[in-house]
Structure 1
Amino acid sequence: MCLLQDYDRLAAVAYAHRWAYGRNPDFYNYDSIGGDCTNFASQCVYAGSGVMNYLPTFGWYYIDANRKSPSWTGVEYFFNFLTRPQSSVGPVGRECLLTEIRPGDVVQLSFTGQGFQHTPVVVAAQPPYAPENILVAAHSFDADNRPLNSYEYLLLRPIQIIGVIRP
């Protein structure tokens, strides 16, 4: 069992605010080919974790537009990486209750009720922890400090980042 180290929530949130309405030139913008939301969420989580996992199939990494893991840009793959059962390098998350969500965590939204299609980053949350008191930043539907309850979704999947496994 690897020791979990702290996740820098403040760094993740600062990154989200900085790039919510822009695109970091170090990363490709996937808006025109399926959306940029999970790419943006990965960038934010990377800002808070400082480590990527370069495993070819099951890792979480970005080298360039064509050399990245499916989990870097894919909503379901991102969830699978964060909540992986085996210990490996990178941020570690767990599906949680909405009342446990904090800035620097992510939520995933299902607009259809089948699968999840969007990954906003939590930038603020205050009690009572309900959608109207949780603010997010996102790409594809570019937003910063957007109330979670302003989205029209059928399902919500909160993911708490519980720590980072370093090499």
Structure 2
Amino acid sequence: MLRIRKLQLLCMILILIPASSFSLFRAQAEPAKQDNVVPFLQELFADRTRLLMDQDKKHIKDHYLLTDKRSNYAYLHEMNRAEYIQEWAKHRNLKIVNAESSIRIARAEVLGDTAKVSLVQSLKLSYEYLDNYPGQHDFGIGTRHGITLKKKDNRWYVEREWYSDPLEENSKKIQKSDLFFTPHKDAATPERVIHKYNRARAVDYANKYAGTTWGAGNGQRYNQKYLDYNSRGGDCTNFSSQVIGDKEEGGGLPMKSGWHYLYGNGGSQAWVQTDAFKNFLIRSGYGRIIGQGSFSDIVQSVNERQQHLDKPQLLPGDLIAYVLNGDVDHFSVVVGFDQSGYPLVNSHTADRFKVPFDLGWDKNTKYLLIHIHD
């Protein structure tokens, strides 16, 4: 799968940047501070955040060596992601009204005219609807970065950069739709009634352990009881399994039938692998597919179920699977709905907090709505 192959290319970076290391701001190499690396990085990410608002290349072009192939590639990547998010907003009848970010540096080492940096960016984005539904919705994205800087003429430039970017999509391939969600009839948090599946607690878990993104709890760290699978191809399924299955803080579904986690050793295939997890949910009876298809199909399915409350609804604590070329590529957890009824999700790899569920995906993506039985 394309996204998994991309993630595997990031393994060396992610191994060097464990999630726990992001709980502190620390530039380990003192020379990095003396050589103005940290101020440059703060300025770079502030300017890239401004770029997301207006796509004006003047914000960032002076931070790159545009005649260098690798540096120019990194520059074009930032321009493309800014174009993508603005195009996505346009197609969803939204306007991005605010962008803020912070960085936390795990490692920064300088050797001559080269600096190598590992850091995390916590990004907060806000949008409003153009016509209806007054109010602003805030969501967060967390990304881990490996950056090489080059000094030229006594100033730093980005020479190359790697990160798992949830906005790395072609703006021309966004799924267009004339359909829009209708306000969800139960936009509040799920009622705290204890069934086999503790839905409210599952949502609390998803919000607490969403990771490096703005909005997450636990000091923006993963739950240290579980291994971090980012360096092994992705942590999204491991996180979804935790949300529904953690007996102390999560949904509390009992481990069974090959779906289990051995603390200190790791999860079974059904616990950590996308297709195996999907198959387990359906075969075990824990979950049921209540909608599938393109973005437009999902809008129609969610809206129709709002009109027929006798049918299972998509609720906070349910899951969404993302299918590419017939294989499940990603899982996210539904944690609520925005003003218009747009489903919002949390996930790992990259870390997301209350993000509109299709942001970062394109017209080739198919979705499975999986309702977890209470």
Tell me the secondary structure at the aligned position of residue 117 of structure 1.
strand
CA contact (8 A) 2:226 2:266 kept: no
Distance 1:73 1:59, change over 3 A: same
Residue 107 in structure 1 maps to residue 320 in structure 2: yes
* Farther off after superposition, 99-108 or 63-72: 63-72
Partner residue in 1 for 2:345: 136
Looking at secondary structure, tell me which structure has more helix per residue.
2
Q: Distance in 2 between matches of 1:118 and 1:6?
A: 25
Residue 49 in structure 1 maps to residue 252 in structure 2: yes
CA contact (8 A) 1:121 1:136 kept: yes
Aligned match of 1:96 in 271, 275, 290?
290
Partner residue in 1 for 2:222: 23
Alignment deviations for residues 83-106 of structure 1 (CA, whole Å, 9 cap, x no partner): 116x7xxxx101112523110010
Alignment deviations for residues 103-156 of structure 1 (CA, whole Å, 9 cap, x no partner): 00100112x333111000000036865xxx100000011011011131314100
Alignment deviations for residues 48-75 of structure 1 (CA, whole Å, 9 cap, x no partner): 124211xxxx421101364532110011
Partner residue in 2 for 1:157: 368
Partner residue in 1 for 2:334: 122
Name the TM-score, length of structure 2 as normaliser: 0.37
State, as a whole percentage, how many aligned pairs show the same letter.
Answer: 33
Runs of 4+ aligned structure 1 residues displaced above 4 Å come to: 126-129
CA contact (8 A) 1:61 1:68 kept: yes
Residue 70 in structure 1 maps to residue 70 in structure 2: no
CA contact (8 A) 1:101 1:125 kept: no
Q: Distance in 2 between matches of 1:68 and 1:102?
A: 26
Show the 5 A alignment for 1:2-21. Answer: 5-21=195-211
Distance 1:134 1:59, change over 3 A: same
Larger radius of gyration: 2
Tell me the secondary structure at the aligned position of residue 156 of structure 1.
strand
Higher relative contact order (CA 8 A, sep 6+): 1
RMSD (Å) for aligned C-alpha atoms: 2.0
Shift of 1:12: 0.5
CA contact (8 A) 2:227 2:266 kept: no
Unaligned runs of 5+ in 2: 1-194, 212-220, 292-297, 303-312
Alignment deviations for residues 2-46 of structure 1 (CA, whole Å, 9 cap, x no partner): xxx531111100000000012111000000011000000000011
Residue 61 in structure 1 maps to residue 260 in structure 2: yes
Q: Distance in 2 between matches of 1:38 and 1:9?
A: 18
Name the TM-score, length of structure 1 as normaliser: 0.79
Tell me the secondary structure at the aligned position of residue 330 of structure 2.
coil
